[in-house]
Amino acid sequence: MQRPFIQTFLRSKIVAYPVAFFFLIFSMFIGIAIGSIHVPFWDISAILAHHLFGTSIEGANEAFENIVWKIRFPRVLLAGLIGASLAIAGAAFQGLLRNPLADPYTLGISSGASVGAVFVLFFHISIPFLGGFTLPVVSIAAAVLTIFCVLLFAQLIERSMKLETIILTGIIFSSFLGSFISLMIALTGEELRQIINWLLGSVSMRGWPYVQLMLPFFAGGALLLLYLAPELNAMSFGEEKAKHLGVNVQRKKILVLIAGSILTGAAVAVSGTIGFIGLVVPHFVRLLIGPDHRHLLPLSMIAGGGFLIIADLAARTIISPTELPIGVITSLIGAPVFALILMNRKRKGGVA
């Protein structure tokens, strides 16, 4: 059967990367420009060039400088980092688990990070030398601890740690940790609204400190997954075939899981629970450009960043001045899109 024109067009990597980068940059400019005060693209360019490259700001409206540099740009940048983290982690998990329904939350990582965050909010914990960073640091630590517990438990059940065992173990841990979240919410008094808002997901009022917190985890996790792309290609055909190709399956599997858990834990720590990014974006990118992880991972990362920026823009403008949780927007967009993807795959006999 002949491929649709758009799919054939985007399968050319020479085209796919410029299109993805254009989408990301356009999303960033739209996210910065639109709000209660409209900022022209020219002023945005001049302000960013001034702060990033030291150029003159004379051509820009200086009244916009605080809006762009201190409020909107860090928010857009943080949303892009979170979306990119969830998308590349989702693409890696889908390849590793050979399951298009897998996402960063399959292994209980999100639930672990959420338990850490809710624990901090519930007990008003503040570690002296961390201060305001207690919440994200504890969330990341809980996420990493969760993946190690999942791997340990899976190894106790089956020493070879088959992928099916890891998935089932992740589901068990996710349900178990979810019950703790529900318990703390049930026992919460005045903090209920704060906890619920955090769980629904948001990048509002985060600012540069959270960008600086997110950036090293994003860089480390993303670079590790990009390095493991050839091994993911091999493992997507099955563990036995990957072993015959010379891949140390167990070691690479653990590295992928750790890298994905760092990315997911960091994202959940700074923004709360944001669903469907790691599920829909890599699946959609795979349909367009194919299953080669050497291209699927970076393109999913770029597309995920742009998508979450647009979703955040919608969250803060649809019923302005009231702001919706970004997790609500991603679910409203992601669920129908994913349903259409599944219907399309079923109509084509289940072939992506």
The rounded distance, in Å, linking the Cα atoms of 72 and 172 is: 39
Task: Quote the pLDDT of residue 229.
Answer: 95
The DSSP line for 307-352 is HHHHHHHHHHHTTTTS---HHHHHHHHHHHHHHHHHHHHHHTTS--
**Whether the predicted pLDDT of 277 surpasses 80:** yes
Q: Among candidates 180, 147, 154, 155, which has minimal Cα distance to 169?
A: 154
Q: Which of the listed ranges 44-48, 81-85, 263-267 does the model predict with the highest average pLDDT?
A: 81-85
Whole-angstrom CA distances from 239 to 166, 230, 246, 247, 288 are 14, 14, 11, 9, 26
Task: Quote the pLDDT of residue 36.
Answer: 86
Could you tell me the two tokens for 302? 């770029």
- Going by pLDDT thresholds of 50, 70 and 90, the confidence category of residue 12 is low
The rounded distance, in Å, linking the Cα atoms of 101 and 98 is: 9
- Going by pLDDT thresholds of 50, 70 and 90, the confidence category of residue 346 is low
What are the residue boundaries of the structural domains of the chain, listed by start?
A: 29-347
- DSSP state, residue 275: -
The rounded distance, in Å, linking the Cα atoms of 283 and 77 is: 23
pLDDT digits 0-9 by tens, 240-259: 888 888 888 888 988 998 89
User: Which fold, 29-347?
Assistant: ABC transporter involved in vitamin B12 uptake, BtuC (1.10.3470)
The rounded distance, in Å, linking the Cα atoms of 60 and 69 is: 13
- Going by pLDDT thresholds of 50, 70 and 90, the confidence category of residue 351 is very low
Q: Among candidates 231, 211, 102, which has minimal Cα distance to 167?
A: 102
Q: Locate tokens 């088959």: which residue?
A: 162
Q: What are phi and psi of 10, to 5 degrees?
A: -80, -20
Q: Which of the listed ranges 111-125, 306-320, 326-340 does the model predict with the highest average pLDDT?
A: 306-320
- Going by pLDDT thresholds of 50, 70 and 90, the confidence category of residue 352 is very low
**Alpha helices in the chain, H assignment, sequence order:** 5-11, 13-33, 41-53, 65-66, 73-97, 109-123, 134-157, 163-187, 192-200, 207-227, 229-235, 239-244, 249-271, 277-289, 293-317, 326-347
Q: Which residue has the higher pLDDT, 30 or 127?
A: 30
**Whether the predicted pLDDT of 162 surpasses 90:** no
The DSSP line for 229-251 is HHHHHHHTT-HHHHHHTT--HHH
pLDDT digits 0-9 by tens, 314-326: 999 988 888 888 8
DSSP SS3 for 158 = coil
Task: Quote the pLDDT of residue 305.
Answer: 97
Three-class HEC string of 90-114: HHHHHHHHCCCCCCCCCCCHHHHHH
Q: What is the distance between the terminal CA atoms of the chain, rounded to a whole angstrom?
A: 13
- DSSP state, residue 60: S
282, 90 contact by CB (below 8 A): yes
The mean per-residue pLDDT over the stretch 96-106 comes to 77
The mean per-residue pLDDT over the stretch 37-47 comes to 90
Which amino acid does the sequence have at 194?
Answer: Q
Query: Whole-number mean pLDDT of the chain?
Result: 84
Task: Quote the pLDDT of residue 31.
Answer: 96
295, 289 contact by CB (below 8 A): yes
**Whether the predicted pLDDT of 60 surpasses 70:** no
| pTM for the predicted model, two decimal places | 0.87
The rounded distance, in Å, linking the Cα atoms of 296 and 281 is: 10
The rounded distance, in Å, linking the Cα atoms of 82 and 5 is: 31
pLDDT digits 0-9 by tens, 197-224: 777 788 887 889 889 888 988 999 999 9
Q: Which residue has the higher pLDDT, 98 or 220?
A: 220
**Whether the predicted pLDDT of 349 surpasses 60:** no
325 preceded by cis ω (within 30°)?
A: no
227, 258 contact by CB (below 8 A): no
- Going by pLDDT thresholds of 50, 70 and 90, the confidence category of residue 11 is low
- Going by pLDDT thresholds of 50, 70 and 90, the confidence category of residue 84 is very high
